[in-house]
Amino acid sequence: MERLTDQDLAELRELCPGGVSMNVDLASISQWKIGGTADVILRPSSSAQVANLRRWFHERQMPHVAVGLTSNLLFSDEGLRVPCLQIGPRMGAVAINGTNVYAQAGTWVPGLARKLMKAGLTGGEHICGIPGTLGGLICMNGGSQRKGIGTSVVTVESVDQGGFRCVRSVTDCGFAYRQSVFQGNNEVITSANLRFVPGDRAVVRAEMRAILAERRQKFPRKQPNCGSVFKSNPAMYAEIGPPGEAIERLGFKGTRVGGAEVSPEHANFIVNRGGARARDVLALIAAIKHKVECATGYQLQAEGHYVGASGTIMPLDGGSQEDMPPDQPGCGGPAGP
């Protein structure tokens, strides 16, 4: 990949004033506290800046990657050699008008849930404990309590790779369990119109408190992590239970590879005990998948994503890329980490 020249950087600083950072230690900004150095991170403050940056990249055929607060991402130990657009607090405006809510993609999700509660709206309680941006939440169709944000979406505004503005209605967003079209269409989400339902503020507040209390009790909070590693599979859930239970039954709780550990509190979380590398996490994921498949016949699917040094984003269990661990032996061979 070609390095950015001084002239390139000067132009990027004009397109994204006050939002250009060089040589950023990804371990210091990512939620898992893992990753090498990113050459350049751009934090735009408007959808117009996102469009201008993407057009600039497009004209130079320069690959780049878009992230939110990195709460679902594992960065490569080799860092990031392509520019990274981080859509965060500089694009965090929210406007509530009756039951209609406009929010920019960098909106902090727990803050949005509190704003909905204060406005007397219900339907957003399930997102109150999810530590990401609205853009990341929409891309992942994230949620809790068996819900996804997609059910509250009216339209999503994005910028395509040529720098053109797109507006998609909910039916064009391809929402399914932890999925949306934005995981594959190379658009950067800049804002969304959402709709909620009038509710009783006190009831909404009580529901949010209950959800947060349950999460505090169930999920590891002290060590850096990226939430649930594996998606729940309905057939497996009915037969065996959620991924965490299957993983726990196989004795993985507390298993470590380097600085990465299967959380002793919840087996579907991998925590960074200090100094974990991406390859440690990937090795644990591969070992868990292998052993669960051998024991149950079900193939777990990762929920989080891996960001390679070239900016490729793929599921954490994304297969045979060069910085992924080698395939595990067959079920007859030695299994486990």
275 vs 258: CA distance, rounded Å: 8
Catalytic residue among 45, 228, 232, 263: 228
Contact positions vs ligand FAD (CB under 6 A): 31, 66-73, 87, 105, 130-133, 135-137, 139-140, 142-144, 182, 188-189, 219, 225-227, 305, 313
CA-wise closest residue to 20 among 11, 29, 31: 11
Residue 11 is a catalytic residue: no
Least distance from ligand FAD to the Cβ atom of residue 160, Å: 11
**The one catalytic residue among 81, 178, 180, 232:** 178
Q: Are 86 and 121 in contact (CB under 8 A)?
A: no
Closest to 40 in 3D by CA, of 71, 6, 73: 6
Tell me whether residue 208 or residue 328 sits nearer to ligand FAD (CB atom): 208
Least distance from C-beta 60 to ligand FAD, angstroms? Answer: 21
The C-alpha atoms of residue 313 and residue 307 are separated, in whole angstroms, by: 5
* Known catalytic membership, residue 228: yes
Q: Is 293 a catalytic residue?
A: no
Closer by beta carbon to ligand FAD, 70 or else 328: 70
Opening angle at CA 305, ends 304 and 306, nearest 5: 135
Instruction: Rank residues 67 and 236 by Cβ distance to ligand FAD and give the closer one.
Output: 67
Tokens read off for 331:
């079920």
CB of 249 to ligand FAD, least distance (A): 22
Q: How far is the CB of 283 from ligand FAD (least distance, A)?
A: 20
Options 125, 157, 207, 303, the catalytic residue: 303
Q: Are 204 and 117 in contact (CB under 8 A)?
A: yes
- Cβ neighbours around 80 below 10 Å, total: 26
Nearer to ligand FAD, 268 or 328 (CB): 268
Helix (H) or strand (E) holding 124: none
**Hey, which residues are catalytic here?**
178, 228, 303
